[in-house]
Structure 1
């Protein structure tokens, strides 16, 4: 694999932005074999959590090594603490991630634009972002994975997670009443996907049973299952930490429909 640190100007954000990109390289070395396609690469957009940035997946897991075996490109953008939203008062990170970023990444690197080759995953805030993208854009993404995702934003009127800075949630989403039934409400987006008549995004969801987001994940699972969505769910003992995510991202890569034969 080849690892790129990519810094560029974003017309959407009107500021410099960054992403890390891992590209397949057909190579055999000590303890490492690579798989590369002859045409454009399938791509996993891998999203970071609230306290992280575009470098954290590389620094705290072995994602580069895991992706090598699969021959999948990995794009890891930086979105700050935006919750992958077009913020009420702030930057338009949703537009950046869903529109500008894929176009720029494909212009810089040989990445496939086929729905069957595009996937998105993330942890915590990034798990929310991954499901938001997968539920909203089934025409562009074949699969979406949430690892310990913050999936029930609409019910958090008083920030019981204790994650946000003063006024931060309001600046991102507005009031909880504005979230419910809107573009930032995953429960609403799941209902809309259930009505979608084309191929639906397949979902992978996991959460540790000791994670503070566990009950939120169970509520979303019950909702998605009732709607008849294609959800693969896994739970086991675990908390909100990188050892768990390092293990589960391997499971996500095994689950992705990457075969082209």
Structure 2
């Protein structure tokens, strides 16, 4: 695998941005890492970070490079700072950047990466799990499958949010609390709008540790997706909101994305 850190200008954000890319590369006589190397129409995973993290975190805290090399998939790891993958009320259009501009930049710099929906995926942890589910629900024509690890995918109690950061932050990224339940940034509303659209659904994978406070959120979202007869897999196991869980389960996600047949578990 080749590892590249890209510095580029975002016209949407009107600022310099950075993102990391893992790219399959043919190698020989490299102990333990020799690969055939896909050089065209390369499958791609957009892998999103959580709160307080950035584009470097998956490389620093997990073995994503080794896992991606095994599956011969490109991995794009962007950053949206604390923007929660939204077009914020303070005029930072992180959602537009991630969902529209970033793929165009990636294809401009790396034309060997696939343009095909069936080979394009998204995943993330915590806040990034929210972002991945949002990509699946709002951009279903672009993604074959998306995965959320310990995702913030169900908003029900404002007090839970205020325990993490104050109201000014949340209203900055998600909008006024008095419009919370019907906000376009609320996963429940996204799901309702998606169901009403009649569009073809990507496959969804939701996983969370049983000792994680966000476990009920993943469980509930999977339940609502099943009720809508969407292709969703929900799995859990021992674990907390930490990198021990995420490093383990991103391996399961890659197998599911690339090898499992479509369908609902």
Bucket of the pairwise TM-score, normalised by the shorter protein: over 0.9
The answer for the alignment partner of 2:82 in structure 1 is 81
- What is the deviation of 1:134? 0.6
Distance 1:91 1:35, change over 3 A: farther
- The C-alpha deviation readout for 1:163-192, integer Å capped at 9, x for no partner, is 224510011112233232332121222233
- What is the deviation of 1:66? 0.2
- The C-alpha deviation readout for 1:30-73, integer Å capped at 9, x for no partner, is 11132433422111000000011000000000000100011110
- The C-alpha deviation readout for 1:219-251, integer Å capped at 9, x for no partner, is 212211111111111111110000100000000
The answer for the alignment partner of 1:20 in structure 2 is 20
Task: Give 2:135's match in structure 1, choosing from 127, 133, 136.
Answer: 133
Distance 1:177 1:36, change over 3 A: farther
The answer for the alignment partner of 1:34 in structure 2 is 35
Superposed, which structure 2 residues align to 1:1-261 within 5 Å? 1-28=1-28, 29-109=30-110, 110-153=112-155, 155-160=156-161, 162-165=163-166, 167-257=168-258
Q: SS at the partner of 1:169?
A: helix
Contact 1:157 1:175 in 2 (8 A): no
In 1: Cα distance, 2:188 partner to 2:167 partner? 26
Q: SS at the partner of 1:8?
A: strand
In 2: Cα distance, 1:162 partner to 1:95 partner? 28
Contact 2:161 2:170 in 1 (8 A): no
Distance 1:147 1:35, change over 3 A: farther
Q: SS at the partner of 2:158?
A: coil
Q: CA RMSD in A?
A: 1.7
In 2: Cα distance, 1:223 partner to 1:177 partner? 24
* Residue-pair matches, total: 258
Contact 1:121 1:127 in 2 (8 A): yes
List runs of 5+ in structure 2 lacking aligned partners: 261-265
In 2: Cα distance, 1:95 partner to 1:78 partner? 13
List runs of 5+ in structure 1 lacking aligned partners: none
In 1: Cα distance, 2:151 partner to 2:249 partner? 13
- What is the deviation of 1:197? 3.7
Q: SS at the partner of 1:152?
A: coil
- The C-alpha deviation readout for 1:129-185, integer Å capped at 9, x for no partner, is 0000111111111100000001113x2323446222451001111223323233212
Q: TM-score normalized by structure 2?
A: 0.92
In 2: Cα distance, 1:115 partner to 1:249 partner? 20
Distance 1:243 1:159, change over 3 A: same
